[in-house]
Amino acid sequence: MAILQTAERSSHLDPSENVIYQRHLIAYKEAAKLVSGTVLEVGSGEGYGIMELAPKSDHYIAVDKYNTEISDELKKDNNITFIQTEVPPLKEIEDNSIDFVVTFQVIEHIEDDEMFLQEIHRVLKPGGKVILTTPNIMMSLTRNPWHTREYTPEQMGEVLKSSFDNYELKGVFGNDKVMDYYNKNKESVRKITRFDILNFQYWLPRWILQIPYDILNRFNRHSLQDANEGIVNSLVYTDYSISASNAKCLDHFCIATK
C-alpha cells in the first residue's frame, strides 16, 4: 500500500505552499544559529531542514516515520544518520547523548505529548536544549483533523512544564504582507466552512475528516495562489520573525533546557 502524503508535509517544490514553507523555514534559520554538537531532529519530513542544520552539527540524526530523502552531497559533506520509526519512544537514541533536539510541527500529531517530551528530556545531555514549534490554536482557521491537539500559549507552557523546569516561550509572527495573506485565507476558509452549519468538523472523528480536509486544503491553497500570486510567490522567510509569545503568534517557538 502506498504511503499517503498529506498536505501536512509541505514542500518548497509546490509554489502554492510557499507561504507555509517560508513560515517553517524561519524556524530552521533561527535553530541554525543555536545548534551545535550532536543534533537530533524528530520529524525530518521533506528534509529541507537538514540543509540548514546538518552543516552546523558534528553529528546530525534525523528521525521520521516516513523515509526522508537525503542527497548524496549532504551525506558526503556531513555526518548524518537517518532512523525511520514512529515516536515516542525515541528508539536507538541513548540517554544523555544529544546536545540539541529540534522538532518542528510534530508534537500536535503525537497522542501522548507528555511522553514525547519525557523522551526528548531523556536523550538530552544535561544542559542540552530542545527547540520546538507547533501551531497556536488561537490563530488556527479551522479544526485540523490531522492534529491530535493544538495549544494556546498557556497550554504550551503547561505541557513543557511536565518535563522541563527551564523553558522560554516565543512565537513566529508575520509582517503585514503575511497577515494580508492570512486574512484572505481566513475569508476563503469561512466561505467553505459556512456550509458546516452543524459543526461536523468539531465533533466527527478525526479519521473521517482527514481526507476531505486534505483535499479542500490543497484546493484552497491553489485558489489563494491564483488570486494572490504576487503575495504567495514573493514571500520569503524574512517576512516572518520570532519574538516573545502572545495570542497572535502563528506558531509557538519554544526553547527548553534540561
What's the pLDDT tens digit per position in 138-175?
999 998 999 999 999 999 999 999 999 999 999 999 99
- CA 126 to the chain's CA centroid: 25
Tell me how far apart the alpha carbons of residues 134 and 155 are, in angstroms, rounded to a whole number.
12
Instruction: Decide if 42 contacts 54 (C-beta within 8 A).
Output: no
Q: Within 13 A of 45's CA, how many CA atoms are on the CB side?
A: 21
Mean pLDDT computed over 205-223: 85
Q: Where are the domains of the chain?
A: 15-257
Residue of higher predicted confidence among 118 and 192: 118
Mean pLDDT computed over 31-45: 95
Q: 15-257: which CATH architecture?
A: 3-Layer(aba) Sandwich (3.40)
Residue of higher predicted confidence among 50 and 37: 37
Reply yes or no on whether the pLDDT at 5 is more than 70. Answer: no
Mean pLDDT computed over 5-29: 79
Mean pLDDT computed over 106-129: 97
Instruction: Decide if 52 contacts 22 (C-beta within 8 A).
Output: no
Q: What is the pTM of this model?
A: 0.91
What's the whole-number average pLDDT of the chain? Answer: 91
Reply yes or no on whether the pLDDT at 6 is more than 80. Answer: no
Reply yes or no on whether the pLDDT at 106 is more than 90. Answer: yes
